């Protein structure tokens, strides 16, 4: 039987040990993501036989689980989760499952489940060198934005953010950004504000990497990321003042140059179905569009 409890910061060490063996490139498999978005999804954790289980209530009648990661065979893990859902009189389903997860499950337990892709949750994965070099006609506009930024702001600099004082400036900028953009933000983006705030407030414990762009020693853009797998770096957040030409383009490039150039891939997460965000992520031409969706019983 699985014993779940609300996800807490103190779970990080145990969970990191299990997730370090993970090779899926899904950003959902990041403790920082799970913890920082907990105010919206109320995730609950169980660890059994060196295997990670996560659930949340997605509605009154549905219980949403994540794909189990760890030592237990998938058929045993599935049975434990299904039993848990039945005890709660809720429908069982796995959310945020990648196509690779689905293939593993369907091979071990054929003809019992089906997979429904959710385009809004697809994740954008790029070759790190493509984000650094921005070569070719397709990315000419990105180079133009960066060049314009450098011309208009000759005293710009990139700096890794490691002190509480510097992080406080990120929090200050985040609040200003949210206030200026609030009326244009969709509900999911307003939830992101709380998640990013939580990341910044707990950046040391979460072991996150933060980098910023400064003009006249004033912070104008910052990004937050971390190692996801041995070959993939994940960018959790990117914020810049939209009225500064090229600020988004230059933090995008400089963060990878300085913090992720030794990784093959960079996961920049999903677009949440937000049209302008999808357009922006597609404009960098992802190497992989990581297909994710819902697994449920037939």
With beta carbons less than 8 A apart as the criterion, state whether 38 and 7 touch: yes
Domain 5-122: top CATH class: alpha beta
Q: What is the pLDDT of residue 40?
A: 83
**pLDDT per position as a tens digit, 105-116:** 999 999 999 999
pLDDT at 186: 57
Determine the distance from the C-alpha atom of residue 210 to the mean position of all C-alpha atoms in its chain, rounded to a whole number: 14
Please state the separation of Cα 85 from the chain's center in Å: 26
**If pLDDT is split at 50, 70 and 90, which confidence band does 6 have?**
very high
Do 5-122 and 123-291 share a fold?
Answer: yes
**What is the per-residue pLDDT across 7-49, written as a single tens digit (0 to 9) for each?**
999 999 999 999 998 999 999 999 999 999 998 888 999 999 9
The structural domains of the chain, with segments of one domain joined by +, span 5-122, 123-291
Give yes or no for residue 171 having a pLDDT over 90.
yes
pTM for the full model? Answer: 0.94
Pairing status of strand 218-229 against strand 69-70: unpaired
Residue 188 has pLDDT above 70, yes or no: no
CATH of domain 123-291: 3.40.630.30
């Amino acid at each position: 039987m699985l014993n779940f409890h609300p996800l807490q910061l103190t779970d990080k060490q145990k969970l990191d040990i299990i997730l370090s063996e993970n090779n899926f490139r899904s950003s959902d498999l990041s403790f920082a993501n799970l913890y920082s978005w907990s105010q919206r999804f109320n995730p609950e954790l169980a660890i059994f036989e060196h295997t990670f289980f996560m659930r949340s209530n997605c509605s009154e009648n549905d219980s949403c689980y994540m794909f189990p990661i760890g030592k237990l065979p998938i058929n045993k893990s599935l049975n434990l989760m299904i039993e848990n859902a039945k005890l709660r009189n809720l429908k069982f389903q796995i959310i945020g499952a990648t196509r690779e997860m689905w293939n593993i499950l369907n091979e071990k337990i054929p003809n019992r489940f089906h997979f429904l892709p959710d385009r809004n949750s697809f994740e954008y994965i790029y070759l790190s060198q493509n984000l650094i070099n921005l070569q070719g006609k397709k990315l000419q506009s990105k180079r133009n934005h960066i060049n314009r930024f450098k011309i208009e702001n000759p005293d710009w600099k990139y700096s890794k953010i490691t002190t509480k004082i510097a992080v406080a400036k990120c929090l200050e900028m985040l609040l200003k950004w949210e206030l200026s953009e609030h009326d244009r933000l969709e509900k999911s983006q307003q939830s992101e504000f709380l998640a990013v705030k939580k990341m910044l407030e707990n950046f040391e414990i979460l072991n996150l990497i933060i980098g910023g762009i400064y003009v006249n020693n004033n912070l104008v853009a910052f990004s937050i990321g971390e190692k996801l797998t041995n070959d993939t770096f994940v960018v959790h957040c990117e914020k810049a003042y939209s009225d500064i030409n090229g600020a988004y383009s230059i933090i995008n490039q400089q963060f990878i140059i300085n913090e992720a150039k030794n990784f093959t891939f960079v996961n920049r997460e999903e677009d949440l179905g937000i049209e302008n965000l999808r357009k922006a992520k597609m404009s960098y031409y992802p190497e992989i569009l990581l297909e994710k969706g819902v697994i449920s019983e037939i």
